[in-house]
Structure 1
């Protein structure tokens, strides 16, 4: 089923709360610009003052409103980019000019103003917990000369996540610089094509990209972010 179908079910006051809650989760599975769990964490916090989406129908609707508004911005951006590319191609321009449309596989919260700072903090906190639970790469897959580099990158990314959360989403420039360097370091460890070691590293990279986006996003202040 489509995002619209799930959204309509989540809004249907004639359905049991549990079914509306499942419909919202299904809608998030269809549109999750930060990743499913991070998007859910973002919505739960921005649905304040009650983030319990299962038991509070009003909070559930606030979360759905935020999700639909973000999706509308993403859809409008994609349509505008497609229209611009048609004009550019007709003029013989094979390379897009101007601002590129955001790549949908990168964590990003499309919105008309700025994303919620507390929402991003919640998303990063969820991603950080998951990152810390991830098993380290199988030693059998890690060449001896790379093991120390990977351990260092893991520790640096963990420290960057902790620093971001400690600062409640307002990291200073040294933290941002360290994060950018760590993100680039993870990228350099990925092998061209497919390699068994890439799978755990891609999960590190996903969290690093979410953290980098949250650390650089011009987030709205807490009082405006709901």
Structure 2
């Protein structure tokens, strides 16, 4: 990516490949975060300086991530030796949920861009086919989709801030989506997992800058 002798298109592709290997917010959300924070040019394909800024942001985050993983591994080694086999909830969140590792607070602009990108995709997702769920679940699914859409819209309208009532609504939406998941792999679970990934991204982004 740093080879200035290569065409910008190839360097752009190399950056996308790097994001494919390290995407703490998911591929598309991570790309949106980098594109937003690498401004002033919004098009990374035409701005070599912005490409380098994006790469540096990605590398800085990955360095912090590797340090986080090393710290978790060392702590788990000590805890297992002491008989504690279950990881801490905070460790599980860091390992599985969306999270932008950084020495400082993540970029609010970057997180807003990430949520906006995923919100557009969420709205385009087809609703689960009615053959995938019980008739009694139809109103609940429609309500959860509408509530998640409303929470994300509030977040974006307020440029990264949501009030306490919206945070509670988002948390309850996540719990209800998780309760609807089947114990085995089913087509409905595929839809619900996409909703959950988006909901967790909104929740993480909102928590990063919401007042307690």
- After TM superposition, the score normalised by the length of structure 1 is 0.88
Tell me the residue number matched to 1:58.
49
Aligned partners of 1:218, 1:200: CA distance in 2, in Å?
28
Aligned partners of 2:89, 2:159: CA distance in 1, in Å?
34
Residue 203 in structure 1 maps to residue 194 in structure 2: yes
Identify which of 25, 35, 43 aligns with 2:16.
Answer: 25
Alignment of 1:106-117 (within 5 A): 106-117=97-108
Aligned partners of 1:159, 1:98: CA distance in 2, in Å?
28
Residue 148 in structure 1 maps to residue 145 in structure 2: no
Contact 1:77–1:101 (Cα < 8 Å) also in 2 = no
Residue 42 in structure 1 maps to residue 33 in structure 2: yes
SS, match of residue 193 in structure 1? coil
Tell me the residue number matched to 1:180.
171
Aligned partners of 1:140, 1:89: CA distance in 2, in Å?
46
Aligned partners of 2:139, 2:111: CA distance in 1, in Å?
31
Contact 2:160–2:209 (Cα < 8 Å) also in 1 = no
Identify which of 195, 203, 209 aligns with 1:212.
Answer: 203
Aligned partners of 1:203, 1:99: CA distance in 2, in Å?
22
SS, match of residue 34 in structure 1? coil
- After TM superposition, the score normalised by the length of structure 2 is 0.94
Shift of 1:97: 6.2
Alignment of 1:21-170 (within 5 A): 21-96=12-87, 100=91, 102-170=93-161
Compare the two structures and name the one with the higher helix fraction: 2
Shift of 1:57: 0.5
SS, match of residue 108 in structure 1? coil
Distance 1:157 1:31, change over 3 A: same
Tell me the residue number matched to 1:171.
162
SS, match of residue 186 in structure 2? coil
Contact 2:161–2:209 (Cα < 8 Å) also in 1 = no
**Which 5+ residue runs of structure 2 have no aligned equivalent?**
none
Distance 1:206 1:54, change over 3 A: same
Give every structure 1 segment of 4 or more consecutive aligned residues whose post-TM-superposition deviation is greater than 6 Å: none
Question: Considering only aligned residues, what root-mean-square deviation do their CA atoms show, in Å?
Answer: 1.6
Contact 2:38–2:50 (Cα < 8 Å) also in 1 = yes
Tell me the residue number matched to 1:192.
183
